[in-house]
A and B are shown apart, each in its own frame.
Chain A
Amino acid sequence: MLKVTCGLVGRLMRRIAWATGTMLIAGVALPVQAETLTIALSSSVNTLDPTQAQVVGTDVSVAAHLYSSLVARNADSKLVGVLAEKWYPEGDSTWVFDLKAGVTFADGEPLDASVVKWNIDRIRNPETKSRNRAWFDPVSGVEVVSPTQIKIHTKGAYPTLPDQLSMIFFLSPKWMESHNPANEVYGTGEFKLKEFVAGDRLVLVRNEAYKGVASPFDSVVFKIVPEPAARVAAISTGEADLAFDIPLEEVERLKGGGKTNAGWVASSRSMVVRMNTAKPPFSDNVKLRQAVNYAIDKQAIVDGLLGGLGTVSNCQIMTPAYFGYNADLKPYPYDPEKAKQLIAESGLVSGTQIELQVPMGRYFMASEISQVVAAQLQEVGLDAVIREYDFSSWVQPYSRGEMGAMSLMGQAWPTLDADGQLGLYASQNPTAYFKNADYDAALKAGRATNDPKDRLVHYKQATEIMCREAPVIFLFAQPFTYATSARIEWKARGDDWIRAADVVLK
């Protein structure tokens, strides 16, 4: 009887082997395409509608391949013109954009100043329900001067308008009469959409009507690969050319692989431990806030937990990629003795329990980092208690201004401008947890002019105040890891933007 079953199983196995073999041939026999760039995205693309796209790393980056913006930020974090030839402020309440002539949609409809105005007005219209409307709150009106010139009038100065416009893409008013951009794509970008398999991939092919510099790639495939180990596998087999958020321990291995390459770059996201300066024990107690900064060995966290991938923040929540970065500031040194001394001077009642909130699943190694932070705070005699929260249950009280004494979090601002990033701590912001009149005044002054030199002076002042007043424990810039196949090179950037234009074919 055993023989019978073995025979059965054997036959079955042979069947399976045969079936697998045929499938294998079907898999291998794919037609060899012209140059295709395959990019593995770490999370799903939610919407194709460029007016609703918010997440730079997915939706906005994909939109940038299909549609054109006025300006774009390149890998050196400089703004370059896309539809705009040049742009400049006129006085303190107007931005002028000179547009390139001859940009058209596929059917020949020109993308001129009136189309730009139509699009911006559409986003500003509450009826559109664009989630990005807040970006245009300071705009008072859009004026078409000529088909190739547009003026955007603002209530007061709006120095970061060009940066913000790098995330705004232009739809055809005519096409919009009968189409829904959530389902279809009709743009003026380098590529057009060939296939969209929800949750799996987007296949883009070259847009022949595109007049700019032609991409070396005939086709760009965005594959959604949510699991880090699967991204590593896809890079190892050459199925993907570029992938992000690679586990730290894999970076070294892929770097030395020969067939692959990997690396990291400081991202625009600063990790901090925020303190609630509206509540005891951190309210009106700058000594205690400074003390906790002295108590944490930032470099040890970077070296020990992140394997050296990361850069300690220079006593500010901006990296050098930001406009307004203050190169003169230095991190608080690790000095537990000084910390103890400051704690003694701060008048903190000993035995005060300090809650350290940790939102889970959002920030890189949040759990590990918070444990080191809590342990080092305990070493200087503070009773720090970790409480881990699911992100969505943490964000509710946080956004209402009811954060606990301390919370680990990462902060970035997509325009890479001090105005946005430092504005997170402006006292009118419900999630500022910080109130300092001088700081507010410096930010306000920085916003009141479109002159970059003038603005830098104010942000220098603001960052100095923030360093001294220490509303956070300044930790480090979160590393952004990536891996590539050997055939390409990626101009690494830490601002989440993913563009085929940053990829060079070797």
Chain B
Amino acid sequence: MSRYFLIRIGQSLLAIWGIVTIVFVVTRMLGDPAVLLLPLGTPDSQIQELRSSLGLERPMVVQYLDFLGHAVVGDFGLSYQSFRPAMEVVLERMPATAILTASSLALGAVLGAATGFAAALARGRFLEFVVMCFALAGQATPVFWLGILLVLFFAVELGWFPTGGWDGPASLVLPTMALGIFVAANITRLFRSSMIETLSEDYIRTARAKGLMPRTIFMVHAARNALIPVVTMLALLAAELLGGSAVTETVFSWPGVGRLLVQAIDSKDFPVIQAGVFLIATIFVCINFLVDLLYTLLDPRIRLGR
């Protein structure tokens, strides 16, 4: 068992290293940031000077080794734009993203589980059709469009919530709804099919034969087992959302990581891009690792089957 985990940790580190390396190469292919950083009409000599003070005139290999050496200890250099440590710039945007992720996952999970459950139970009836239509629509609706509609209705028409920004719990409601609906749509469909599959298992028939209350069968025997893939899905969605959802963040003026990274790419702020991608990759890998762990705990077959 411990050997398995050692291998998994090794794989995880390898994955992070690979991503960071790819990003390093890709950012260098974006072109020269020095031209973008200086005012129009700056003499060539000063552009050259800036380039060398950023260390960009050195051979790629030297830059790469230097970058790796510092990245290992968490030093990604100073942001070209804000002149502060790049990791700090990324980390200060993390709380906003984390809160939005948590709230929309919670809303999405509850809503998705409830509707998915309802759809599974109402199999073949009109309710299922309605629920699935909503789920499909929810998944197909672009988040920015839904977001703007929510703002227009709840903020501009009704005046219930602020239109955007990050100022108090009220400002969290609309972005949570927009992302939560997206999450819920995913969960609904998954949970429904997982429920239907579980309900056709032998042990459910056994339970019915035993004369258990339908409620017990659904809630205890079926739902619990059907939740396993949902947990995986939620974890993956969490990892995805923690990378910041640039579109939602833009619509709601939410100061999260996604918007920061898009802006960093636009302005070729290499240190911020690298720090951000490193952080997101690490989170993703860690969550994946945890899911694997969780699986072995949740499902004895995986644990015992090796």
Contacts and interface: CB of A to CB of B under 8 A. Distances in A.
Contact of B252 (A24, A132, A230): A230
A224 B166 CA distance: 10
A380 B259 CA distance: 44
Interface string A135-165: 1010000000000000000000000000000
B284 interface: no
Contacts of B148: 229-230
A226 interface: yes
Contact of A237 (B81, B155, B167): B155
A256 B139 CA distance: 37
A interface bracket (residues with beta carbon within 8 Å of B): 35 or more
B4 interface: no
A182 B255 CA distance: 19
Given A227-B250, A237-B163, A2 B256 contact: no
Contacts of B152: 233
Interface string B159-188: 111111111111111000000000000000
Contacts of B83: 47, 49, 52, 182
B14 interface: no
A34 interface: no
A318 to B, nearest CB: 15
B299 interface: no
B160 A396 contact: no
B251 A230 contact: yes
B96 to A, nearest CB: 8
Interface residues of B, number: 69
Contact of A12 (B110, B127, B171, B173): B110
A250 to B, nearest CB: 12
Interface string B223-261: 000000000000000000000000000111111100110
Given A24-B161, A226-B250, A199 B256 contact: yes
A392 B121 contact: no
Contact of B163 (A46, A182, A239, A395): A239
Contacts of B93: 198-199
Contact of A227 (B31, B173, B214, B251): B251
A413 B41 CA distance: 10
B163 A134 contact: no
A233 B164 contact: yes
A24 B155 contact: no
B205 interface: no
A393 interface: yes
Given A27-B169, A131-B37, A2 B127 contact: yes
Contact of B165 (A26, A182, A200, A430): A200
B114 A5 contact: yes
B41 A392 contact: no
A364 B157 CA distance: 29
Given A237-B155, A424-B41, 4 more contacts: A12-B110, A47-B81, A224-B255, A392-B31
Interface of A: 1-2, 4-5, 8-9, 12, 20, 23-24, 26-28, 30, 43-44, 46-47, 49, 52, 54, 126, 129, 131-135, 137, 182-183, 197-201, 223-227, 229-230, 233-234, 236-237, 239, 361, 391-393, 395-396, 399, 413-414, 420, 423-424, 429-430
9 contacts: A49-B83, A134-B41, A197-B255, A200-B254, A225-B253, A230-B163, A230-B251, A239-B165, A430-B44
